[in-house]
Amino acid sequence: MNPPPPPFTGGPPICRPDAESGQLWTFGFPDGLVAEVHTRGARLHALWVPDRHGVPADVVLGPRDPARAVPAARYFGATVGRYANRIAHGRFTLDGKTHRLTAQENGHCLHGGTDGFDNRVWEAESVHTPERTGVLLHLRSPDGDQGFPGNLDVTVGCLVGRNAELTFSYAAVTDAATPVNLTNHAYFNLEGEGAGDVLGHELAVDAAHYTPVDADLVPSGPHRPVAGTVFDLRRPLVIAEALARPGLPPVDTGGGYDHNFVLAPRDDDGSLRRAAVLHAPATGRRMEVLTTEPGLQVYTAGQFDGTVVGKSGTRYRAGAGIALETQHFPDSPNRPGDPSPVLRPGEEYRSRTVLRFGTPG
């Protein structure tokens, strides 16, 4: 049973402290979006979105207590870094020096290493205006953290707009050259958390190329055209129908999508580009993903096996949600042809992703 949103009148964000695990912040607008963000992992813990009848439901998957979740739930809703996605063999060479990272997953570094940003308690401050409300979260990642060079100071903003937009903004500075790639790892089900799977959702991705991967989900060659392949999502497709096309293992065997899509080029003015549209016909909810990032990781949760128990008490099984992670490309520190993820002293890392909700038609 998806619970109703907490009573909230649209005032400044409300903080509920937890001495052991950080803070839970609640913010939003009446009859619009209401969000909960936990400071452990700078984590989107819940997001209530109205359906076509104006009835809100939490559309974000997550464990009841982010601070005490099983390891299988460590990335749910979290800010992942210092480098989201995979770095092959847990190493990269920068300016002639090889850096070795903490590694998981067959010796590769995933989402920043064994103790990534998802496991840290961030500092938070509230932001509130008549049109936008939310939190800014701050973290210092010291030189050598998980093997990455340089002291990195990171700020993540999570703001709800009165216009039914949720904005993630990322900023970082460093005192030594280092790769940076930050994203939010929320899983969405627009029928509601615990409502079943997302196989009846419709998905479109604005990408003409994708990144092929090997059995370890590490890039295995140059980007390839999606045309004529199972990766062609340029027009909306029901996810079950997309997955049924030849070329992908079934979700119930751990398959499905877990791939980077190369987004259409954008102007050089820092403007947003549309990355994807997710729509649940059963509820009318529609989520448009816009970003300044060049890539989008689409993951249809094929490896969910019921280990994680969600906020509603439901065990999450294959296809229970979908992650749409805006990003630089996987293993870019080792792939010179990809957009560079390297941040240098005197520069500022900037990234922005907007989730735009509605119930059209």
CB atoms within 10 A of CB 128: 15
Write the CB contacts of 161 (distance below 8 Å, at least 6 apart in sequence). Answer: 33, 131, 132, 167
Identify which of 199, 197, 168 has the alpha carbon closest to the alpha carbon of residue 317. 197
Beta bridge partners of 78: none
Give the total residue count for the chain: 361
Identify which of 108, 113, 90, 295 has the alpha carbon closest to the alpha carbon of residue 215. 108
Give the separation between CA 281 and CA 301, rounded to whole angstroms.
20
Choice among 108, 259, 325, 328 that is catalytic: 325
Give the separation between CA 165 and CA 167, rounded to whole angstroms.
6
Give the separation between CA 50 and CA 278, rounded to whole angstroms.
15
Q: How far is CA 138 from CA 40, 125, 172, 292, in A?
A: 11, 9, 10, 21
Choice among 38, 99, 185, 259 that is catalytic: 185
State residue 298 phi and psi, 5-degree precision.
Answer: -105, 120
- What is the token pair recorded at 214? 């090997």
Give the separation between CA 64 and CA 116, rounded to whole angstroms.
21
CB 88 within 8 A of CB 106: no
Radius of gyration of the chain (CA): 19
Q: Is 293 a catalytic residue?
A: no
Q: Is 325 a catalytic residue?
A: yes
Q: Catalogue the active-site residues.
A: 185, 325
